[in-house]
Amino acid sequence: MRLFVLVAGCLATPEALPPSAAPPADEAIALPGGSGEDNGPDEPAFFADTGVLDLEIELDEAAIAALAAAPTEYVEGAFTFRGERYEPVGVRLKGSSTYQWLDARPAWKLKFDEYIPGLRVEGRERLTLDSNYWDGSMMAETLAYRTWRLAGNPAPRTGYANVRFNGDLVGLYTIVESMDDQFVEANWPDSNGGLYEMCRSCDFDRDCGDYPPQDLGEAHDESGLPRACAAAASGEEEEIRAHFDWARLTRYIALERAVNHNDSYSYNLNNYYLYHDPLTDSVTLSPWGADSTWSYSYPPDEDRPCEPGYFDALNTTAGAYLTRWCRANAACWADVEAHTLEIADLMEETDLAGFAAETEARIADSVAADPRWPWGIDTFHAKASCFQTWIEDRPAQLRSSVADH
């Protein structure tokens, strides 16, 4: 399933490689939300605050067989967006508790340049498509990462898309910016350092060498992360300040508590990336897997109460080394509490509850038309309403947690 353009026996360069035509419009499946033409002129194609996109993934029988043998290995597929078909692109499945096969509701990883070096779709090398299987509101990731970014910490951007697979509507997905060299360039444009994925249950006072590298830039310092881990293990405030981005570290801890990210570094040693900046010799953590944030119930249930206390991070003891150390260090925890108050103000100033209501309206038609999401439109509206109430109440809870301490 390879698309090449041959001219006088020569292979065209990737930059000159045109996408093939998409099926005629009258053969396409009509999906609620359209193709995102209502996006503002300055909004990125995949990461807009408005609209719902239409995407299609195609795999032939050989690719499906290869994927069945190795679901997390890329296979050759095709990707269609806004009337243009790109082929071949890398397609694989993702997820642990959210993992599902093709006949259900799989989560996807797309790597556009896996087979054609330099191939981009709307400037992107990769995309992640999350299924929201355990998120009855379909908006936990969108709200959590947005809060992270507004607070000043690096976090993925998001969008929404109705996704078809081999012509069949699978349903509504959250588009999540992949953690790769483009994410690094956007957040650390001059440093070209090393991005690492978390290793499950690893921590900075041990297992430092087990963190798998995701992308290593030209200026990557292979001894940078070991130095940071040694600094953490020392327990010395001066050393930790020197080898971690202190402001972002303390704000990161505050954000995990504020958005109730329990399946995270601090509480579950899970769902985070870390970047070593060689210019400052410091490490920054970035969130991932935020589909169980805010007012979380597992599985989604419209009858579950929304009040805090159900897996509320404000009342949960952190298990991660750096967070435990910070909680016991007066200067570190004072900064966490200062950031907590800033986040409380931010939620109100940016009308996060209002944005949640706008997001509910934005995606409701797509949720109603979703053929494979098991929780139903009533659960969606109940959870969306719960989120809005929960977020409206959260600033006061954050301020109270600081005052009580």
Q: Distance between CA atoms of 14 and 201, rounded to whole angstroms? A: 40
Instruction: Give 75's strand partners.
Output: 91
Lowest model confidence (mean pLDDT) among 37-51, 315-329, 335-349, 378-392 = 37-51
Position 218 confidence tier, pLDDT thresholds 50, 70, 90: very high
User: Model confidence over 19-55: pLDDT tens digits?
Assistant: 333 333 333 333 334 334 444 445 589 999 999 999 9
Q: Which residue has the tokens 């990161």?
A: 252
Query: What is the DSSP-derived secondary structure letter of residue 23?
Result: P
Q: How far apart are the first and last CA of the chain?
A: 61
Specify the pLDDT at position 122. Answer: 95
Name the amino acid, one letter, at 344.
A
Give 353 or 13, the one with higher predicted confidence: 353
Domain boundaries, given as residue ranges, for the chain: 6-181
Position 123 confidence tier, pLDDT thresholds 50, 70, 90: very high
What are 65's two structure tokens?
């067989």
Instruction: Spell out the SS3 assignment of 67-135.
Output: HHHCCCCCEEEEEEECCEEEEEEEEEEECCCCCCCCCCCCEEEEECCCCCCCCCECCECEEEEECCCCC
Least Cα distance to 29 among 360, 364, 371 occurs for 371
Q: In the predicted model, is pLDDT for residue 128 greater than 90?
A: yes
Instruction: Find the mean pLDDT for residues 109-120.
Output: 97
Give 100 or 290, the one with higher predicted confidence: 290
Give 33 or 105, the one with higher predicted confidence: 105
Position 104 confidence tier, pLDDT thresholds 50, 70, 90: confident
User: What percentage of the chain carries pLDDT values higher than 90?
Assistant: 75
Specify the pLDDT at position 95. Answer: 73
Residue 331, Cβ density class (10 Å: 0-12 exposed, 13-18 middle, ≥19 buried)? exposed
User: Model confidence over 265-293: pLDDT tens digits?
Assistant: 999 999 999 999 999 999 999 999 999 89
Instruction: Give 158's strand partners.
Output: 176
Instruction: Find the mean pLDDT for residues 210-232.
Output: 94
Residue 392, Cβ density class (10 Å: 0-12 exposed, 13-18 middle, ≥19 buried)? middle
Q: Distance between CA atoms of 107 and 130, rounded to whole angstroms? A: 5
Specify the pLDDT at position 79. Answer: 98
Specify the pLDDT at position 302. Answer: 61
Lowest model confidence (mean pLDDT) among 35-44, 74-83, 162-171 = 35-44
Least Cα distance to 214 among 174, 256, 173, 272 occurs for 272
Q: In the predicted model, is pLDDT for residue 262 greater than 50?
A: yes
Q: Distance between CA atoms of 269 and 201, rounded to whole angstroms? A: 5
Least Cα distance to 208 among 219, 192, 191, 194 occurs for 194
Instruction: Find the mean pLDDT for residues 104-128.
Output: 96
Share the mean pLDDT of the chain.
87
Q: Which residue has the tokens 């009858």?
A: 303
Q: In the predicted model, is pLDDT for residue 324 greater than 90?
A: yes
Specify the pLDDT at position 225. Answer: 95
Q: Distance between CA atoms of 116 and 15, rounded to whole angstroms? A: 10
Residue 239's contacts (CB-CB under 8 Å, 6 or more residues apart) are 230, 231, 232
Q: Which helix (H) or strand (E) holds 369?
A: helix 352-369
Specify the pLDDT at position 20. Answer: 34
